[in-house]
């Protein structure tokens, strides 16, 4: 099997080397760049399976690199994991809004990094066949979008259309963080019945209905929400 390719764009030499070392040891083919502009060219040349992108870079910063990747048809589908320092929540929100798939916060352990990389590769649109799933089962919670039904521990619970859409959307992307704006646009843009534009209100209501399973929807402070990743 051909090894999956990862491009690492990181200006701090020690972090770049440790990352390269760990990813290589895990069996990935790694290409690295210390610079945003060069890194962008490298991604276009390699067209990797994944990009690990530091946000704070000299010259072209991570957000600009992400924007360039997501606006180029050649690289648009390549998943991006942003690498951020603590306190860069607003940049994370910006990056996720631009199409980045996930992020890790420095300092991270090799174990954490590998777990994020594997999770993103697993759900990458580059390889996942599009399963047009209408029913999602997660432990004691079953969501059936066609029948407009949510069952919690076998009991049917009444959901509004907005709540159902929100839960279904999150649950169909386990482990992926979405910003409030993204969620709102997914559940609401064409629907006049979304009266409340405040996504937190809908999330609160969905959690209440999930009762004991409310923790399936995690709050990512300063950023948004995520449906719990499936245990691997
Ligand atoms: Ca940096």
What is the tens place of the pLDDT at every residue in 137-155? 999 999 998 889 999 999 9
Task: Give the Å distance between the CA of 173 and the centre of ligand 1.
Answer: 29
Task: Give the Å distance between the CA of 54 and the centre of ligand 1.
Answer: 6
Task: Give the Å distance between the CA of 214 and the centre of ligand 1.
Answer: 36
Q: What angle do CA 21, 25, 26 make, to 5 degrees?
A: 120
Task: Give the Å distance between the CA of 191 and the centre of ligand 1.
Answer: 41
User: Could you state, in order of their start, the residue ranges of all structural domains in the chain?
Assistant: 5-122, 135-227
Nearest to 120 by CA among 85, 87, 82: 82
Is domain 5-122 classified as CATH 2.120.10.30? no
Q: What pLDDT is stored for residue 150 in this prediction? A: 96
Q: What pLDDT is stored for residue 130 in this prediction? A: 43
Task: Give the Å distance between the CA of 205 and the centre of ligand 1.
Answer: 39
pLDDT confidence band for 129 (50 / 70 / 90): very low
Q: What is the pLDDT of residues 29-54, one digit of tens each?
A: 999 999 999 999 999 999 999 999 99
Give me the sign of the Cα torsion angle 58, 66, 179, 228: negative
In angstroms, the CA 37 to CA 9 distance is: 10
Give the percent of the chain with pLDDT over 90: 65
pLDDT surpassing 70 at residue 91: yes
Task: Give the Å distance between the CA of 78 and the centre of ligand 1.
Answer: 21
pLDDT confidence band for 24 (50 / 70 / 90): very high
In angstroms, the CA 132 to CA 14 distance is: 43
Q: What is the mean pLDDT of the chain?
A: 88
Tell me which of 72 and 186 has the higher pLDDT.
72
163 strand-pairing partners: none
pLDDT confidence band for 185 (50 / 70 / 90): confident
- The CATH classification of domain 135-227, taken from the options 3.40.50.970, 3.40.50.2300, 2.40.10.340, 1.10.10.10: 1.10.10.10
Tell me which of 221 and 130 has the higher pLDDT.
221
166 and 194 in contact (C-beta within 8 Å)?
Answer: no
First to last CA, the chain: 21
Pairing of the two strands 5-9 and 29-33: parallel
Side-chain-facing half-sphere of 39: CA atoms under 13 Å: 32
pLDDT surpassing 70 at residue 221: yes
Task: Give the Å distance between the CA of 71 and the centre of ligand 1.
Answer: 23
Q: What pLDDT is stored for residue 29 in this prediction? A: 96
Task: Give the Å distance between the CA of 20 and the centre of ligand 1.
Answer: 15
Can you tell me the mean pLDDT for 216-230?
Answer: 92
135-227: same fold as 5-122?
Answer: no
Q: What pLDDT is stored for residue 93 in this prediction? A: 92
pLDDT surpassing 50 at residue 128: no
Query: How many other C-beta atoms lie within 10 A of the C-beta of residue 39?
Result: 28
In angstroms, the CA 157 to CA 74 distance is: 44
pLDDT confidence band for 19 (50 / 70 / 90): very high
pLDDT confidence band for 195 (50 / 70 / 90): low
Q: Where do we find the tokens 């994020």?
A: 116
In angstroms, the CA 4 to CA 136 distance is: 29
């Amino acid at each position: 099997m051909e090894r999956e390719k990862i491009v690492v764009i990181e200006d701090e030499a020690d972090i770049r080397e440790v990352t390269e070392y760990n990813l290589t040891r895990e069996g990935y083919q790694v290409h690295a760049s210390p610079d945003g502009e060069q890194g962008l060219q490298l991604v276009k040349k390699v067209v990797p399976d994944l990009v690990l992108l530091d946000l704070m870079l000299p010259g072209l910063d991570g957000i600009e690199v992400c924007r360039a990747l997501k606006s180029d048809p050649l690289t648009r589908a390549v998943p991006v994991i942003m690498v951020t320092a603590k306190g860069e929540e607003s940049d994370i929100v910006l990056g996720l809004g631009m199409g980045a798939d996930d992020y890790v916060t420095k300092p991270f352990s090799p174990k954490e990094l590998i777990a994020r990389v594997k999770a993103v590769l697993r759900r990458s649109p580059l390889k996942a066949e599009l399963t047009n799933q209408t029913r999602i089962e997660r432990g004691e919670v079953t969501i059936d979008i066609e029948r407009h039904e949510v069952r919690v521990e076998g009991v049917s619970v009444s959901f509004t259309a907005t709540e159902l859409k929100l839960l279904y959307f999150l649950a169909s992307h386990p482990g992926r963080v979405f910003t409030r704006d993204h969620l709102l646009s997914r559940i609401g843009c064409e629907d006049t019945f979304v009266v409340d534009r405040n996504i937190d209100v809908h999330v609160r209501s969905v959690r209440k209905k999930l009762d004991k399973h409310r923790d399936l929807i995690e709050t990512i402070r300063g950023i948004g929400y995520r449906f719990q990743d499936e245990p691997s």
